[in-house]
């Protein structure tokens, strides 16, 4: 077990910059999730840490040691692949013993380590089977077991759950997290699934176009996104983005400006911000669908229902507000139907302001 420190890490393939100046400090025993759409560089970052790709510039430390030039076998990290990458010509036991055999450990110690890991993962009865005789979930467990027996400094997970069906994925999510807590091994987990990131991570690194857009706890990223990308990527149904105008009302003594958010002729609410906005006052306003409430018709913003999506837990309403599409989520049972007019209400504190040109949050 060890801390991992990444400093100004860059990776290019020819002229294509895949990672730009990544800085990330991972504490001993922490579970960090790298999340982002495909092509954002998250898998590349993991492969750089594993040593499967060469670093262009920057530095990676595991513990106190700089590992930039170290061969993968000398880094003492274990990786769980999306494909599981179980050796097909070996039994489960041989798969799990492989790394210990290469280390030259004694037969008894290997058997003990494999049996202990198998017991923890409840795969004892699979030990003599070949991978092709296993189900997806069982293969997943064996891949975990192969990583566990080594007692490495860190676990690296490369989208390990994406080949499983939804139900099994939910279960394995829990099991991986619980196992990691029990073992206390520093872990880096790559996924494109923001739900996995939210549910599993101690801290999330949201990545886009090779840049770490925001690093923080799941709650940080959800409630306090740094920019439009993070705000839009985290959360489902996704955050609403509304094109609006700030009408400057008054500047308070402490440097905070109070402004009215206008969408067309509708007044969304009074917000406070310290940073300057565009001269013409245009902003992008973000609000989470579940933060919008159905309001009393008199005091509410007038909208029209385009479509209803019942999810069981509640309903997603697709609405039109002053010509713009928005979504809201409510657990109330609805009487209104498609094309009906409904009134909605928002709390001004839930409105997040973003610069429409740069996407950066205006605080």
Partner 1 sequence: METHGKSYWAIHYLLLAAFVVFALFPLFWLLKVSITPNDLLYSEGVRLWPSRITADHYASVIAHSQFPLFFRNSVIVATTTALFSTLLAAAAGYGFSRFQFRAKFWIVGLMLITQMFPLVMIIAPIFRLLKPLGLTNSLAGLVIVYTAFNVPFASFLMQSFFDAIPKDLEEAAMLDGANRFAAFRKIIVPLTLPGLAATVGFVFTAAWSELLFALMLNSSSAASTFPVGLLAFVSKFSVDFGQMMAAGVLALLPVCLFFVFIQRYLVQGLTAGAVKG
Q: Out of 36, 41, 131, 160, which residue is the one contacting partner 1 (CB under 8 A)?
A: 131
Q: Out of 63, 136, 314, 356, which residue is the one contacting partner 1 (CB under 8 A)?
A: 136
Q: Out of 15, 38, 88, 167, which residue is the one contacting partner 1 (CB under 8 A)?
A: 88
Site string for partner 1, 275-314 (x = CB under 8 A): ----------------------------------------
Q: What angle do CA 293, 297, 300 make, to 5 degrees?
A: 55
> Least Å distance between CB 95 and partner 1?
9
> Least Å distance between CB 19 and partner 1?
19
Structure tokens at 314: 């509640």
Structure tokens at 56: 């262009």
> Least Å distance between CB 120 and partner 1?
19
Residues 43-62 that bind partner 1 (CB under 8 A): 50-52
CA nearest neighbour of 95 among 144, 136, 55, 137: 144
Of the ranges 134-142, 308-316, 328-336, 352-360, which one interacts with partner 1 (CB under 8 A)? 134-142
Which residue's entry shows tokens 């262009």?
56
Of the ranges 95-103, 234-242, 320-328, 353-361, which one interacts with partner 1 (CB under 8 A)? 95-103
Per CB under 8 A, 166 contacts partner 1: no
Per CB under 8 A, 130 contacts partner 1: yes
Q: Out of 139, 141, 192, 203, which residue is the one contacting partner 1 (CB under 8 A)?
A: 139
Per CB under 8 A, 12 contacts partner 1: no
Per CB under 8 A, 85 contacts partner 1: yes
> Least Å distance between CB 133 and partner 1?
7
Q: Out of 37, 54, 59, 103, which residue is the one contacting partner 1 (CB under 8 A)?
A: 103
Q: How many other CB atoms are there within 10 angstroms of residue 338's CB atom?
A: 11
Per CB under 8 A, 132 contacts partner 1: yes
Rounded to whole angstroms, the Cα distance separating 189 from 77 reads 13
Nearer Cβ to partner 1, position 83 or 358? 83
Rounded to whole angstroms, the Cα distance separating 96 from 103 reads 13
Per CB under 8 A, 83 contacts partner 1: yes
Q: Are 101 and 94 in contact (CB under 8 A)?
A: no
* Bridge pairing between strands 57-62 and 65-66: antiparallel
Query: Helix H segments across the chain?
Result: 42-50, 92-102, 107-121, 136-148, 166-183, 194-200, 218-223, 228-233
Residues 6+ apart with CB under 8 A from 174: none
Q: Are 123 and 145 in contact (CB under 8 A)?
A: yes
Residues 6+ apart with CB under 8 A from 17: 10, 11, 210
Residues 6+ apart with CB under 8 A from 115: 124
Nearer Cβ to partner 1, position 57 or 83? 83
Nearer Cβ to partner 1, position 102 or 276? 102
Q: What angle do CA 73, 110, 121 make, to 5 degrees?
A: 90
Binding site residues, partner 1, CB under 8 A: 50-52, 71-73, 75, 77-79, 81-89, 98-99, 102-103, 130-137, 139, 146, 150, 163-164
């Amino acid at each position: 077990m060890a801390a991992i420190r990444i400093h100004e890490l860059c990776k290019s393939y020819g002229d294509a910059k895949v990672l730009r100046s990544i800085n990330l400090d991972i504490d001993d025993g922490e579970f960090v999730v790298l999340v982002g759409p495909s092509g954002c560089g998250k898998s590349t970052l993991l492969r750089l840490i594993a040593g499967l790709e060469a670093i262009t510039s920057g530095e990676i430390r595991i513990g106190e040691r700089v590992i930039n030039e170290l061969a993968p076998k000398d880094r003492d990290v274990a990786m769980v692949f999306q494909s599981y990458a179980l050796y097909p010509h070996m039994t489960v036991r041989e798969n799990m013993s492989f790394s210990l055999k290469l280390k030259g450990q004694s037969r008894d110690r290997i058997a003990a380590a494999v049996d202990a890991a198998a017991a923890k993962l409840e795969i004892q009865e699979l030990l003599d089977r070949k991978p092709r005789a296993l189900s997806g979930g069982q293969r997943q467990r064996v891949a975990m077991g192969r990583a566990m027996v080594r007692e490495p400094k860190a676990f690296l997970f490369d989208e390990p759950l994406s080949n499983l069906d939804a139900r099994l994925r939910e279960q394995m999510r829990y099991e991986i997290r619980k196992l990691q807590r029990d073992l206390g091994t520093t872990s880096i987990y790559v996924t494109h699934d923001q739900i996995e990131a939210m549910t599993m991570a101690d801290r999330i690194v949201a990545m886009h176009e090779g840049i770490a857009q925001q690093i923080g706890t799941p709650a940080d990223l959800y409630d306090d996104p740094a920019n439009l990308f993070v705000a839009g990527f985290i959360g489902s149904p996704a955050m609403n983005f509304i094109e609006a105008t700030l009408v400057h009302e008054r500047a308070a003594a402490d440097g905070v400006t109070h402004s009215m958010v206008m969408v067309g002729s509708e007044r969304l609410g009074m917000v406070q911000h310290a940073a300057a906005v565009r001269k013409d006052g245009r902003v992008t306003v973000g609000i989470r669908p579940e933060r919008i409430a159905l309001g009393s018709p008199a005091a509410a913003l007038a909208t029209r229902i385009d479509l209803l999506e019942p999810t069981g837990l509640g309903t997603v309403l697709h609405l039109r507000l002053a010509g713009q599409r928005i979504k809201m989520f409510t657990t109330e049972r609805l009487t209104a139907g498609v094309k009906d007019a409904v009134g909605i209400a928002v709390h001004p504190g839930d409105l997040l302001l973003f610069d429409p040109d740069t996407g950066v949050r205006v605080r």
